[in-house]
Structure 1
């Protein structure tokens, strides 16, 4: 696929960041989070609303406006604990693709055709301290299709933050020119994470790190709603302790079982690690728009396949009784936080080369298919290969009822996994994307 970069610039906030907001302190969760770029792709069908030049101009203007609200994204990291909100802006690229149709990519969406859509091959790359926190590339197809690619630094932008930002940017772009439209996001809600999860006098722990492992390959498995219903029925009949399992629970359980089976692992020595969003579990609740890495990890130790969902629910209940209170509630416990940070930065580093972890992150129910810039909602949203062994990201399908599992494994392990008989009874391997 031939791709030509036709412009490259920095988009700065439409209004300068006030002096009292120039230093943005990171939370104790942010400060240990990796500095790698999380990649996202948003695909839009043939757009006839206006000419390409006009669309790009609107995108720049609305991006400038939204950066006045999400002002840390236009700054630069001062160190591991803070951002200098100096309005340097975010990197914005525009690319033309003339020989390849968008429909061709969607027919067989492999890494070879997806990777060139990202800016400067930044996907999952570790960023330098002085680089742009957010890098955006607008890919314009001759057929009229658009792909907006985003590489967002994980150190300040988790998945929820990224999708909130994209939706707010899209809303401003969609309603540009409407004098009655205003995006009201009070700073005390948007940046509550630093206040509640303040670093305080905690020591500076090392950042989590993962090294780019080129032996990792990524495959996409799609579970349609009808197949998920069958999985739910099976769990209901086989597990009397579990009632009304969710889509995520049954898909996660099947993938976990298939990984164990395909890779020849042992249930007694393999654990599940799952990201938990703290926003909706704090007392009082945090705004769902809160910026930062407001997540911690639930570890389910050595579960058997038949009781995995039960153990996840039990573990999540215990997690919610402890972590929200000790992390930022009235019972905030710095000794507890210290031990969590110490253990996490040690265990995650080890897990990069350790088969004893299976890592899950669910992006389901995030508003990923609501990102409408005025040309309609995206026909597909996806990410790219994550260089962490046995890491799985779960995302909604466009209809909101199915699940796409983005599975990352070593190449030899993937060959075994993608041929797992039970898995393939419920999941399709990299099906084409329907554009209607």
Structure 2
């Protein structure tokens, strides 16, 4: 795929960060989170004839505006526990792609997706002095645009990243109508993890290590709504252990777990799931959805039996919600409990556990709401993750299906992708349907 970087610049906030906000403290969760860049791709199938130069000019202007609200993203890490909000800005690249978007949409493999990210930053570790956010605007010969975002995980979790892109899109869309930024996003305070979960007097723990493997391959499996409905029916009507009202995520997770354990040659009794749980709506009272930072913690579903995966997830999540949100914040905040949690996570982070499946669901995040004025994206995805046995679930565009990105060592993936039940319910890397063939 022919590609040329035609411009590279730093976009700074439209207004300087006030002196009293120059130091941005990280939360006790942020300070142990790794600094790897989380990659996102937003594909737009705008069929209207439009000047790409004008689009890019609007994008730069609106990005500058939104950075005055998300001001820490334009700063630099001062150390492991704070950001210096010095308005140094974020990386902004523009690339010309000498082909049509359909080349990628017909066969969306990693070799075609990887060049769309800025400076190949996907999942790389950010240096302390590097840009917290990097963006690349990919302009295709057919006139379409793909926006890629690499966001440093130390301050930006998946929810934060999608909210940021949506707010950027809203400013870009409404600024074209000459509306004021304050009328578009009428808030001037950043609801940050450091305020919600202050690090207080805790010692500085080592960052959780992001263990990379060179031999990892990523495959995309799409579960259509009709197939998910069949999976739900199978669980509801199970004679051994029927499940009441299973969710999309539960049934897809259970199937992938079953197929993964088989492919990896593991035992159901000794294989665990590690799930990232968003704390925002589980806190008492619930946090604002747009709270910034890593507002997640980990649920370990220990050794679930084959037919008990959904029940174990539900039981574990129920217990999790009864304990962690209360002890992490609010009236029942327990500093000794938090300290022990930090010790456990950072102590065990470097240990390789081949009997652990790492799982995160981005379903129900507003990933398909980012309308920059050209319509909503036709596809949102991420890149291959070089972590062993890591699974990310994302919504399909219609909101009813699920796309699962599964990362495994190559030999394991060969067995996994051929599993009979997986093939019965999921399609391997189907084409993305656009408005036309351009």
CA contact (8 A) 1:74 1:88 kept: yes
The whole-number CA distance in structure 1 between the counterparts of 2:186 and 2:92 is 24
* Aligned counterparts, 1:1-400, within 5 A: 1-48=1-48, 50-98=50-98, 100-176=99-175, 177-179=177-179, 182-184=183-185, 186=187, 188=189, 190-238=190-238, 240=241, 242-350=243-351, 353-400=352-399
Question: Which segment drifts farther, 173-182 or 355-364?
Answer: 173-182
Q: Following TM superposition, by how much is the alpha carbon of 1:186 offset from its aligned partner in structure 2, in angstroms?
A: 3.5
SS of the residue aligned with 1:217? strand
Question: Which segment drifts farther, 69-78 or 204-213?
Answer: 204-213
CA contact (8 A) 1:258 1:417 kept: yes
Deviations 1:354-376 (A, max 9, x none): 21111110000111111110001
Q: Following TM superposition, by how much is the alpha carbon of 1:347 offset from its aligned partner in structure 2, in angstroms?
A: 2.4
Q: Following TM superposition, by how much is the alpha carbon of 1:432 offset from its aligned partner in structure 2, in angstroms?
A: 0.5
The whole-number CA distance in structure 1 between the counterparts of 2:76 and 2:432 is 37
Aligned twin of 1:401: 400
The whole-number CA distance in structure 2 between the counterparts of 1:362 and 1:105 is 25
CA contact (8 A) 1:46 1:143 kept: no
The whole-number CA distance in structure 2 between the counterparts of 1:212 and 1:323 is 29
CA contact (8 A) 1:267 1:303 kept: yes
Structure-1-length-normalised TM-score:
0.97
CA contact (8 A) 2:50 2:143 kept: no
Q: Following TM superposition, by how much is the alpha carbon of 1:241 offset from its aligned partner in structure 2, in angstroms?
A: 5.1
State whether structure 2 residue 412 is matched by structure 1 residue 434. Answer: no
Q: Following TM superposition, by how much is the alpha carbon of 1:240 offset from its aligned partner in structure 2, in angstroms?
A: 4.8
Deviations 1:123-148 (A, max 9, x none): 00001000000000000001011110
Q: Following TM superposition, by how much is the alpha carbon of 1:218 offset from its aligned partner in structure 2, in angstroms?
A: 0.4
CA contact (8 A) 2:211 2:350 kept: no
Structure 1 spans left out of the alignment, 5+ residues? none
The whole-number CA distance in structure 2 between the counterparts of 1:378 and 1:433 is 12
The whole-number CA distance in structure 2 between the counterparts of 1:212 and 1:390 is 11
The whole-number CA distance in structure 2 between the counterparts of 1:339 and 1:169 is 38
Structure 2 spans left out of the alignment, 5+ residues? none
**Residues 47, 92 of structure 1: alpha-carbon distance in 2 compared, 3 angstrom cutoff:** farther
SS of the residue aligned with 2:150? strand
Q: Following TM superposition, by how much is the alpha carbon of 1:50 offset from its aligned partner in structure 2, in angstroms?
A: 2.8
CA contact (8 A) 1:69 1:185 kept: no
The whole-number CA distance in structure 2 between the counterparts of 1:92 and 1:47 is 24
The whole-number CA distance in structure 2 between the counterparts of 1:316 and 1:183 is 36
**Residues 49, 166 of structure 1: alpha-carbon distance in 2 compared, 3 angstrom cutoff:** farther
Q: Following TM superposition, by how much is the alpha carbon of 1:179 offset from its aligned partner in structure 2, in angstroms?
A: 2.7
Q: Following TM superposition, by how much is the alpha carbon of 1:210 offset from its aligned partner in structure 2, in angstroms?
A: 1.8
Q: Following TM superposition, by how much is the alpha carbon of 1:348 offset from its aligned partner in structure 2, in angstroms?
A: 2.8
CA contact (8 A) 1:17 1:85 kept: yes
CA contact (8 A) 1:21 1:85 kept: yes
The whole-number CA distance in structure 1 between the counterparts of 2:210 and 2:303 is 24
Q: Following TM superposition, by how much is the alpha carbon of 1:237 offset from its aligned partner in structure 2, in angstroms?
A: 0.6
Structure-2-length-normalised TM-score:
0.97
Deviations 1:153-176 (A, max 9, x none): 000000000000000000000011
The whole-number CA distance in structure 2 between the counterparts of 1:194 and 1:385 is 30
The whole-number CA distance in structure 2 between the counterparts of 1:183 and 1:408 is 39
Deviations 1:383-413 (A, max 9, x none): 0111111100000000100000000011111
The whole-number CA distance in structure 2 between the counterparts of 1:63 and 1:141 is 21
SS of the residue aligned with 2:222? strand
Aligned twin of 2:410: 411
**Residues 187, 80 of structure 1: alpha-carbon distance in 2 compared, 3 angstrom cutoff:** farther
**Residues 90, 246 of structure 1: alpha-carbon distance in 2 compared, 3 angstrom cutoff:** same
**Residues 211, 359 of structure 1: alpha-carbon distance in 2 compared, 3 angstrom cutoff:** closer
Provide the aligned length of Structure 1 versus Structure 2: 432
**Residues 62, 134 of structure 1: alpha-carbon distance in 2 compared, 3 angstrom cutoff:** same
The whole-number CA distance in structure 1 between the counterparts of 2:284 and 2:406 is 34
